[in-house]
Structure formats: C-alpha cells, structure tokens
C-alpha cells in the first residue's frame, strides 16, 4: 500500500492514541495548519483559562493577587511546577516568567562572570538571531568586544552541528556556553546530556534554548545536570502569541545572586516588607524580575492540562511517526521537483518539524497558503513543516503533500514573487 493512499493514512489515524486531543483545539475548516513550531493553535482549555483569569480581575480586582482559583501572586511558581516534567526538572527549578530573550539576558547577567582567561561565550552560527543579539550585548556590557569574546561554532553542512566540533571549541577561554536544544531551521536535536558533561569537565557553565524542543521532545535537565535553560511557550506549548516564557536553574546554583534584580525575585514572605535590601527567593523564583504578565501566562494553565493528560512520551512517539510519514511522502510524491530534506533522518537527532529546501521556497510557501496549507518560510530557501501530535492527523499530512505535489506539477507557485512576506 502506498504511503499516499487514503487507506494508509486512515489506518494510522484509527490507531492514534492521541486523536481525541484534536477536538480540544480550534481547527479551521479547509485549512491544514503545519506551523505549530512557530505559533501553536488555540485550545479550548487555554481559552477557558484566559477567560477565567479575566473573570478573576473582573470579580476580585486587586484581591485577585491572593484569592480565586489561580491567585496571581503565586501563579508563576505554580505554572513552573506544572511545566517542570516537560523539561525533566524538579518543581522549584522552573519558573514561568518573562520572555525568551529577557530570560536569556537574566541567565547571562547572572552566570556570565568573565574572570582571568575565561572571558568568552560559546554559541553557534546556526542559532536563532535573538539569542546572538542578547549574547553580544551581554559581552559588550562587560566592556568586551564580541568579535573577540564570542566563540561561534561553525556548521559543516549549513544545516546541522557536530557535537564533536562544539566540544573542541570548549577551551579554557570559555566561561559559558549557550546552545539550542533543537536547531530552529533543520530541527536537529543536540545531545544536551553529552554537551553538559563535556562542558562541566572543562569548567564551563552551559545553558540551552528550548524554544523548539519543549512540548515536542522529552528532556531531563536535572538529571543531565544542565546549569540553566530558557524557552517560550507559544510554539509547541500552544500558549498564544507572546505568552510568558520559562526558565530553568539547576538547584545546585540556587543562591547565586540574580544579575538582574527585581522585586518579584524576592522571597514571597519578604516581598511586601518593601525593604530596600532584596532578600532573593531560595529557588528559581529568584530569577524573575518584574511583575508577571498574568494575562499572557493565563492560557498556559489550560494548555499544560493537555500535556499532563497526553504525556510527553506519547506526544514524542506520535510526533516522530508524523514526521517519518511526511518525509516518506516527500520521497514518494516530490522526487524530481528540486526539494531536499535538511532535517536529520535519525529519531534521536530529529525534533518536531521537517525542514525542506528549495530554490523557490518563498513562492512555494505562498502557493501553499493559497491552497489552505499553512507552512513556515525561513530565508533563504527553507520550508518548515510541523505536524503537531496534539492536533494534526496523518490524513492532513497526506493531503498537504498531495497539494504540494500538484503545486509543483502545475507550477502554480510561479505567479508569486520569490520573496518573503513581512513575517516569514
């Protein structure tokens, strides 16, 4: 039976243990949404938890900080406890707070302490630009030159990183390493356990950007002894546009003075004493800065309920089957049309999306959107496709690839300019 046959896809969907979760999301008719690695879809429970928080503001006013179903004063910590299993952390090691870049700034302000010969930050040339902006600015704030004090690990193929190359770059001049858990273009998973061990053997602190892995890939940050991590909640976690970010600090680092101090990092029993000398919280809560964005965190409450019920293990298993299926369909339907797959083939190295390359990628993405398939373009010639375990079906993947084949066969993409829109 061909992979592209309707019967094959139907059989996979019938056997899907997570199929029922699709009904939890707002799925637009006549649309196949494959951009969940950029912005996840709205779930009914996320909507309900947001409305519930609005209701507490309406009904309780300022008393919403300490009363109601989800008191705002304690919400960041309680969300952190619920999110901890997704990153393999102890509950007190995780906080839902800030944004990805703000949390990276906090981690570097706290843990990047250039001294003696150790003055450099190690990153990679494939990293998401915002991380590199933050890293360079933190180097400049120490009066140092990023040209000299940023070590950028090169890619051998333009798509993936070699862990051997990263480890080789961990010299005695490196103070901190900041790396992606999953590369945002190719979807490669880095071996975070191995890299953490190698960094520590060399006296280097190491942290990971989990934006493209949390919610699709299991982690064990505490057991790996990772020093810190940070992430967003609007991709695979479906928290909504601009929803609050998250951070992890290993408990053995508790007590390190926060580099960016703010009153929500205070010990909760002391915070409203209004003392001008800060008493930091004794756990990851110390690395909060300002008042939490309650309405931006509210949808995450409902979203995390779904992850607790589905289990990250089952989510990962289905995600791999979906991306395997998509890759198989590319081979069956799109051979000869100029596509190449830049994502790793092996399960241990592949995250939750597939990265295709084509010289006409921008206009192909526009043609797909016109046909109701929502992909994600990444310059210069990348198409990211993310079939999400909680709401995408095998039949959707099948139909999307058939539509793509027809677009290529009939050259429907040629009516569009080959350039990205304002948002790729």
Pick out the residues of the known binding site for pyridoxal 5'-phosphate. 100-101, 128-131, 209, 212, 234, 263, 291
Q: What are phi and psi of 105, to 5 degrees?
A: -55, -45
Regarding beta strands 174-180 and 228-231, do their DSSP bridges make them parallel or antiparallel, or are they unpaired?
unpaired
As annotated, the binding site includes: 100-101, 128-131, 209, 212, 234, 263, 291
Angstrom distances, CA of residue 265 to CA of 107, 262, 285: 13, 6, 6
Rounded CA separation 130/146 (Å): 15
Three state DSSP letters for 129-154: HHHHHHHHHHHHHCCCCHHHHEEEEC
Which residue from 185, 187, 286, 278 is spatially nearest to 228, judged by alpha carbons? 286
Rounded CA separation 34/24 (Å): 17
Tell the residue number behind the tokens 């707002």, with chain if given. 26
CB contact at 8 A, 11 and 3: no
Rounded CA separation 70/304 (Å): 14
Token code pair at residue 95: 């906080």
User: Please, which residues bridge with residue 206 across strands?
Assistant: 177
Residue 225 burial (CB count, 10 A): 15
Angstrom distances, CA of residue 223 to CA of 90, 188, 227, 251, 347: 10, 21, 11, 11, 21
């Amino acid at each position: 039976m061909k992979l592209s046959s309707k019967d094959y896809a139907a059989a996979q969907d019938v056997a899907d243990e997570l199929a029922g979760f699709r009904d939890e999301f707002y799925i637009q008719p006549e649309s196949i949404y494959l951009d969940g690695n950029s912005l996840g879809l709205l779930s009914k429970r996320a909507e309900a938890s947001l409305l519930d928080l609005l209701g507490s503001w309406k009904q309780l006013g300022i008393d919403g900080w300490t009363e109601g179903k989800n008191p705002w004063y304690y919400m960041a910590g309680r969300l952190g406890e619920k999110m901890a299993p997704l990153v393999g952390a102890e509950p007190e090691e995780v906080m839902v707070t800030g944004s990805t870049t703000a949390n990276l700034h906090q981690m570097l302000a706290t843990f990047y302490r250039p001294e003696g010969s150790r003055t450099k930050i190690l990153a990679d040339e494939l990293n998401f630009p915002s991380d590199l902006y933050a890293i360079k600015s933190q180097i400049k704030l120490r009066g140092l030159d990023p040209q000299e004090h940023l070590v950028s690990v090169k890619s051998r193929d333009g798509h993936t990183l070699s862990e051997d190359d990263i480890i080789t770059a961990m010299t005695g001049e490196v103070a901190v390493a900041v790396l992606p858990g999953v590369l945002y273009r190719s979807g490669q998973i880095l071996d975070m356990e191995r890299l953490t061990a190698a960094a520590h053997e060399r006296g280097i602190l190491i942290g990971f950007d989990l934006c493209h892995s949390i919610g699709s890939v299991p982690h064990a940050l505490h057991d790996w002894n990772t020093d810190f991590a940070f992430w967003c909640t609007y991709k695979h976690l479906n928290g909504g546009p601009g929803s609050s970010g998250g951070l992890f600090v290993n408990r053995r680092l508790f007590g390190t003075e926060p580099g960016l101090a703010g009153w929500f990092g205070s010990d909760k029993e002391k915070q409203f004493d209004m003392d001008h000398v800060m008493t930091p919280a004794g756990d990851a809560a110390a690395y909060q800065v300002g008042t939490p964005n309650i309405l931006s965190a509210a949808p995450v409450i409902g979203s995390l309920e779904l992850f607790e019920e589905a289990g990250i293990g089952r989510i990962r298993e289905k995600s791999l089957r979906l991306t395997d299926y998509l890759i198989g369909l590319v081979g069956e339907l799109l051979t000869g049309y100029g596509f190449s797959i830049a994502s790793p083939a092996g399960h241990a190295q592949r995250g939750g999306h597939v990265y295709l390359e084509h010289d006409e990628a921008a206009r192909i993405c526009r043609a797909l959107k016109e046909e109701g398939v929502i992909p994600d373009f990444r310059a210069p010639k990348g198409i990211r496709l993310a079939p999400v375990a909680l709401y995408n079906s095998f039949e959707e993947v099948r139909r999307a690839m058939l539509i793509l084949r027809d677009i290529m066969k009939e050259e429907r993409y040629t009516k569009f300019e080959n350039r990205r829109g304002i948002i790729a």
